[in-house]
Amino acid sequence: MSKSDTEVAIIGGGAAGIAAGRRLVDAGIDCLVIEARDRLGGRGWSVPAPTGEIIDLGCGWLHSADRNPWSDIAAQQGCTIDKAPPPWTKPSLDIGFPLGDQRAFHEALDAFYDRMETVAQREPDAPAAAALEPGNRWNGLLSAVGTFISGGELVRVSARDFDNYADNGVNWRVVEGYGAMMATHAAGVPVVLGCPVQRVDHSGTRLRIETSRGTIAAAQVIVTLPTNVLTAMEDLFAPGLPDKTAAAHDLPLGHDDKLFIALEGAAEFERDSRLFGRTDGPTAAYHLRPFGRPMIEAYFGGALAAELEAGGANAFYRFAVDELTGLLGADFAKRLKPIRVHAWGTDPFARGAYSFALPGKTASRQVLAAPVDERLFFAGEACSKHDYSTAHGAYRTGIAAADAVIAARRPA
Ligand SMILES: Cc1cc2nc3c(=O)[nH]c(=O)nc-3n(C[C@H](O)[C@H](O)[C@H](O)COP(=O)(O)OP(=O)(O)OC[C@H]3O[C@@H](n4cnc5c(N)ncnc54)[C@H](O)[C@@H]3O)c2cc1C
């Protein structure tokens, strides 16, 4: 390993770790990002499709784009920002979902969000499913959309946390890839790849970060691991940090996965349009011609995504083909070819998609984010109160942790 001693060790090279590393390097502080994978970006991951376009297997949307720090970074890098409106802000295709029903669904969705605001005020905090109206014909689709947003089924998700999420409705994309753009932002930040951290020993005056490739000593550490990784690594901290472990348990990552499918004769469909496989229960959302490309981006959430992950990569494709041929006829299958899917739940360095709080556990986001002894700092999307589950939320927590490190290093 190139470096066995550093001032600040940053565990994890995703959005939060990259932001923290960049900030520390710019402040002239010696640091090292220690990353388990052989690439940077974490849950941001851009790969080429066989036809050459870059697809994002993880984050793709610059949510709240006009207040999203990654938008400026993408622009500074000279990336192409696509501002075409996302499929969920326009009517879906009139296939299996007549426009009148779509209007009724959108009214039901607005009413659901309004009720969520009220339910979120309740003591004690209730599951987000309490905002569903018993017997409402749209509950199946509202629940499916809930899993795209949260990753968890609404019965498991805190209503208050759901309501805390802040989004201003501006959504852009990076043509060259969100994940690739984030990784580029780490240029010049010292990084060690392929180096899973196994333990953080904070019993001595200097921290000892034990990895698969040896021990790294540091004065301070910023931990950016996904919550499901923290809960899976029971002995990560020595001595143990039971508050952190409990907070990570309160903020599990749900399931969300994307499958990209090549589509022949795509021009028949409007660019950035959408279909739901069904409107009365668990289903995938099909984004047709993303960026105008000849493909379909299928999005799976919650228990459905978990079940398909258990079935292997082909299970996603079979499910999508079944739903799409149900809407467009059996011959439609001949126009489809799988490109790529990534199962984030079975990915050992993510173990899920993004965090939601269990009912009654919103405060755990602050517990997770709180530093320990001015030496151990925490960042990552789960630490964000209002921008959790996003790449810009992760970025901001990384900057906050780096700033806290810088402040702790100043002489009193
Ligand atoms: C399918 C999907 C779609 C999404 N869509 C969007 C979207 O459109 N817009 C949006 O803003 N967000 C989206 N997100 C969420 C967004 O990708 C994440 O919130 C964000 O990337 C998390 O960044 P992070 O730094 O907190 O965590 P991560 O990116 O997970 O970074 C943590 C890093 O720690 C590393 N690591 C794990 N274990 C170890 C170990 N033992 N030792 C060392 N390193 C380790 C990991 O490899 C990883 O690189 C999506 C996520 C998924 C899965």
Identify the residues whose C-beta falls under 6 Å from ligand 1: 11-17, 34-37, 42-44, 58-61, 63, 196-197, 224-226, 229, 256-258, 344, 349-350, 353-354, 380-381, 389-392, 394
Sign of CA dihedral 57, 172, 41, 166: negative
Atom of ligand 1 nearest to the CA of 40: 49
Question: What is the predicted pLDDT for the residue at 234?
Answer: 87
* C-alpha 12 to ligand 1 mean position (Å): 9
Can you read off the two tokens belonging to residue 76?
């500074």
Average pLDDT across the chain, whole number? 97
* C-alpha 267 to ligand 1 mean position (Å): 33
Confidence check: pLDDT of 1 > 80: no
Question: What is the predicted pLDDT for the residue at 288?
Answer: 98
Confidence check: pLDDT of 177 > 80: yes
**HSE-CB of 215 using CA atoms within 13 angstroms:** 8
Confidence check: pLDDT of 313 > 80: yes
Q: How confident is the model at residue 132 (pLDDT cuts 50, 70, 90)?
A: very high
* C-alpha 59 to ligand 1 mean position (Å): 8
Residue nearest to atom 23 of ligand 1 (CA): 15
Q: Which amino acid is at 338?
A: P
Whether 208 and 217 have beta carbons less than 8 Å apart is answered as yes
Whether 68 and 392 have beta carbons less than 8 Å apart is answered as yes
**HSE-CB of 54 using CA atoms within 13 angstroms:** 18
Question: What is the predicted pLDDT for the residue at 411?
Answer: 82
pLDDT tens digits for range 254-303: 999 999 999 999 999 999 999 999 999 999 999 999 999 999 999 999 99
The DSSP result for 192-209, as a single string, is E-S--EEEEE-SSSSEEE
Q: How confident is the model at residue 382 (pLDDT cuts 50, 70, 90)?
A: very high
For residue 201, what are the β-bridge partners?
208, 238
* C-alpha 207 to ligand 1 mean position (Å): 25
Neighbour count for residue 412 (Cβ, 10 Å) = 2
Q: What is the CATH number of domain 87-169+256-341?
A: 3.90.660
Residue nearest to atom 38 of ligand 1 (CA): 349
For residue 172, what are the β-bridge partners?
62
What mean pLDDT is predicted for residues 101-112?
98
Atom of ligand 1 nearest to the CA of 350: 30
What mean pLDDT is predicted for residues 8-23?
99
Say what the alpha-carbon torsion angle 305, 310, 316, 319 is, to the nearest 10 degrees.
-90
Residue nearest to atom 53 of ligand 1 (CA): 353
Atom of ligand 1 nearest to the CA of 13: 49
Helix and strand numbers, DSSP H then E, in the chain:
12, 18
Question: What is the predicted pLDDT for the residue at 156?
Answer: 98
Confidence check: pLDDT of 314 > 80: yes
Sign of CA dihedral 232, 238, 240, 245: negative
Domain range annotation of the chain: 5-67+174-252+359-409, 87-169+256-341
* C-alpha 226 to ligand 1 mean position (Å): 7
**Fold match between 5-67+174-252+359-409 and 87-169+256-341?**
no
pLDDT tens digits for range 217-249: 999 999 999 999 999 998 999 999 999 999 999
Neighbour count for residue 307 (Cβ, 10 Å) = 14
Q: What is the CATH number of domain 5-67+174-252+359-409?
A: 3.50.50.60
* C-alpha 27 to ligand 1 mean position (Å): 25
Question: What is the predicted pLDDT for the residue at 189?
Answer: 98
